[in-house]
């Protein structure tokens, strides 16, 4: 990643200051107060399952461009800075595979540090379970070379199925829908516009009142 040299707020040349127990790049202008905490990104992917001929199959897309051209993976991508994660993953599934699906819950996530993925210095990658609504797999032939629903047995015969995607699919297959982190907390969300909260639904609220 390129080094940040100037403050993105006031364009002053950044210096080094100790903040939070470690040296960080920071703006020397006390009125600005910018501190560079690093480069971060949030990715999301969707496990969309449906029954075909009595068999459960998961939606996969094949990358048409590098890096990893030709590999099969869950549809997904980066969330925009002003976009809720549930909206982002639903958008990515429809954009990449032409399938309309609705978020159910979060089944897994991956945290990666600099140098392990080639992207920003820190990345969180959320894997959602989505309910299939409608649409047949389609692709643009450029960014996405192919798309379809496949069983685990079929994936075993395919070349270059991403290990993380298969793991996410397995997480969704061996757990009940809604057993992961589901959107909730309406009272708090209503108090703080722009928030989206995810938590476990099978919580014994009576035990909290004892």
- Which pLDDT does position 20 carry in this prediction? 86
pLDDT digits (tens, 9 = 90+) for 21-47: 999 999 999 999 999 988 889 999 999
Spatial distance between the Cα atoms of 172 and 175, rounded to a whole number of angstroms: 6
| Domain at 5, CATH number | 2.20.70
Could you tell me if residue 199 is inside a domain? no
- pLDDT above 70 for 87: yes
CATH of residue 100's domain is: 3.90.79.10
Do 72 and 148 belong to one domain?
yes
pTM for this predicted structure = 0.87
Kindly state whether residue 71 falls inside one of the protein's structural domains. Answer: yes
- For residue 167, pLDDT over 70 is answered with yes
Among candidate residues 60, 126, 63, 140, the one with its CA nearest the CA of residue 93: 60
Backbone angles phi, psi at 49, to 5 degrees: -110, 145
Confidence of residue 209 (pLDDT cuts 50, 70, 90): low
Residue 22 domain boundaries? 1-38
Q: Does a structural domain hold residue 98?
A: yes
pLDDT for the residue numbered 206:
59
**Amino acid 55: pLDDT:** 94
| Same-domain pairing of 31 and 68 | no
CB 128 within 8 A of CB 167: no
Assigned token pair, 152:
């685990």
pLDDT band with cut points at 50, 70 and 90 for residue 1: very low
Are 23 and 60 in a shared domain?
A: no
């Amino acid at each position: 990643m390129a080094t940040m040299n100037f403050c993105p707020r006031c364009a002053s040349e950044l210096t080094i200051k100790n903040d939070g127990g470690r040296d960080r790049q920071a703006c020397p202008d006390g009125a600005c107060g910018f501190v560079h905490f690093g480069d971060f990104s949030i990715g999301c992917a969707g496990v969309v399952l449906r029954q075909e001929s009595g068999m459960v199959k998961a939606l996969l897309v094949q990358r048409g461009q590098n890096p990893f051209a030709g590999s099969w993976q869950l549809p997904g991508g980066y969330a925009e800075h002003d976009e809720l994660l549930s909206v982002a993953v639903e958008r990515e599934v429809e954009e990449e595979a032409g399938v309309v699906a609705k978020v159910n819950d979060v089944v897994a996530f991956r945290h990666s540090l600099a140098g392990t993925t080639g992207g920003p210095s820190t990345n969180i990658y959320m894997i959602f379970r989505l309910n299939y609504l409608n649409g047949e797999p389609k692709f643009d032939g450029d960014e996405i070379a192919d798309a379809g629903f496949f069983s685990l047995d079929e994936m075993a015969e395919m070349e270059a199925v991403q290990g993380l995607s298969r793991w996410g699919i397995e997480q969704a297959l061996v757990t009940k829908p809604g057993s992961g982190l589901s959107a909730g907390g309406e009272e708090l969300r209503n108090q703080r516009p722009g928030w989206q909260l995810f938590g476990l639904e099978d919580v014994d609220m009576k035990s909290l009142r004892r």
